[in-house]
Amino acid sequence: MRLLRYGPAGQERPALLDNNNQIRDLTGHIDDLSAAAYSQAEMQRLAKLDPQNLPLVEGTPRIGSPISKTGHFIAIGLNYADHAAESGMPIPAEPILFTKAPSSLCGPNDAVVIPKGSKKLDWEIELAVIISKPAYQITEADALEYIAGYTICNDISERHWQIEGTGQWTKGKSAPTFGPLGPYLVTPDEVRNPENLALELRLNGKLQQSGNTANMIFSVRQIVAYLSGIMQLEPGDIITTGTPPGVGMGAKPPFYLKPDDEMVLTIEGLGRQHQTVAAQA
């Protein structure tokens, strides 16, 4: 399945995308794609529905985040060796963790807003997963069984807040619109191999990032198992798994996002995001 939410911000409705890429409304079967909706029991129930029997959504509505709200929005830093190199940082011996504020979550095509005081706003295409059941101290062998599905995240990053001054990565990762997610969540049965997916980000039409999840230092299995060893993951938790090289901070000289810039992100089999950058009103 490809699950999504559509409609004005704050009024999204649950839906799925059928094999003809048409949106089919799910409100007769579920209130919203919340954390509870991504439990294994609910996912199994939705999988039994025939999309052709669901109401067709006409037009091209706004697409929201594929989950209404998350408890944890966890991110992995420097998870591609070549990105660590462009950042001037050593390859980590174990996953580097930070969090994004759940309030940073937004739709895949919503504007990315430059907050007041921002000096160095950057982009990061990443493979993200949503957790389907409580996971605590699980094994790598079992880790993929705890994933509801896969999607795209743009880990928007304010480098001045993240690195300079007192630093702390969460400070540079958490403003509103810093977590575009979607366009939909793809269930594991439709993902060929999460550890071999091509990623690409274009800025104003120019290719900036091109990579493959096969080059991650820590695989999806390793990340989920590692996190479960230090905290209990819950249904609806989002984990975004790191970015390949090509970010603005790593350019020579560095450059950053400005108003009216356009980003287009794609991950093999997971769809497309398109964001325009806007200054805070």
Alpha carbons 13 and 93: distance in angstroms, whole number: 42
In order of start, what are the domains of the chain with their CATH numbers? 65-279 (3.90.850.10)
The rounded percent of the chain whose pLDDT value lies above 90 is 93
CB 250 within 8 A of CB 82: no
Q: What is the pLDDT of residue 165?
A: 83
Alpha carbons 249 and 157: distance in angstroms, whole number: 10
Residue-averaged pLDDT of the chain: 96
Helix (H) or strand (E) run with residue 149 in it: strand 147-154
Q: What is the pLDDT of residue 214?
A: 94
Residue 159's pLDDT band, with cuts at 50, 70 and 90, is very high
Q: Is the confidence at residue 208, as pLDDT, over 80? A: yes
What torsion do the CA atoms of 52, 271, 262, 244 make, to the nearest 10 degrees?
Answer: 170
Q: Is the confidence at residue 133, as pLDDT, over 90? A: yes
Residue 24's pLDDT band, with cuts at 50, 70 and 90, is very high
Residue 83's pLDDT band, with cuts at 50, 70 and 90, is confident
Q: Is the confidence at residue 125, as pLDDT, over 90? A: yes
Count CB-CB contacts under 10 A for residue 143. 21
- pLDDT tens digits along 161-194: 999 988 899 999 999 999 999 999 999 999 989 9
Mean pLDDT across the stretch 103-121?
A: 97
Q: Among 249, 278, 248, which residue's Cα sits nearest to residue 261? A: 278
CB 25 within 8 A of CB 57: yes
The two structure tokens encoding residue 33: 């794609």
On the question of a cis peptide bond just before residue 183, with omega within 30 degrees of 0, the verdict is yes
- pLDDT tens digits along 216-243: 999 999 999 999 999 999 999 999 999 9
Composition of the chain by helix, strand, coil, percent to 5:
20, 30, 45
